[in-house]
Amino acid sequence: MNETIKTISERSSIRKYTAEPVSEEDCKTLIEAGLMAPTATNRQEIHFTVVKGNDPVNREIQNDLNPEAETTFYYDAPLVMYLSGEDTFGWSDVDAGIAVENIHLAAKSLGLGSLVIGCVKKVLNGDKKAEYDRKLQIPEGYSFRIAIAIGHPDTTKQQHFFDFEKNVSIL
């Protein structure tokens, strides 16, 4: 099995992290992995907002999402990235999804764990959108698409079961 397939097959969502920060070097590698992702018509429109886990904006989002939750939406990971895309470009959801998966797999290949996060969408694109756009430096005419929590894993998780017969047609 080559290294890429090994990374893909061993990846899983991580929901428990150590307090160890993600190094600046790894952080830069992960951002670049996102920037290297393909985009429709090579538009390269996805914006990446990189936030430390202890930044108050994460806490504020958590409060708006669910102040009584037992865990935070980012599972107290030391790093969170928020990806936003252009409102008038029809492929921005897909482009953000591809970019976040690049980051997710790159994190795994660096020995880090990560979690793709969609649950904050209604908070970030809801009544307080303008306020969060400003706080997260989301560009004008853009909206939040997807986030990813990243850190050193403090748990292991089995890869999910998949059903080849159910999901695949080979003509």
Ligand X SMILES: Cc1cc2nc3c(=O)[nH]c(=O)nc-3n(C[C@H](O)[C@H](O)[C@H](O)COP(=O)(O)O)c2cc1C
Closest CA to 159 of 15, 11, 17, 16: 11
- Give least dist CB 13 to ligand X, A: 4
Nearer to ligand X, 38 or 118 (CB): 118
Nearer to ligand X, 23 or 69 (CB): 69
Nearer to ligand X, 36 or 119 (CB): 119
Query: For 19-26, which contacts have Cβ atoms below 8 Å and span 24 or more sequence positions?
Result: 19/78, 20/78, 20/151, 20/152, 21/52, 21/78, 21/79, 22/78, 22/79, 22/112, 22/150, 22/151, 22/152, 26/110, 26/112
- Give least dist CB 7 to ligand X, A: 13
Binding site for ligand X (CB under 6 A): 12-13, 115-119, 146, 157, 160
- Give least dist CB 115 to ligand X, A: 6
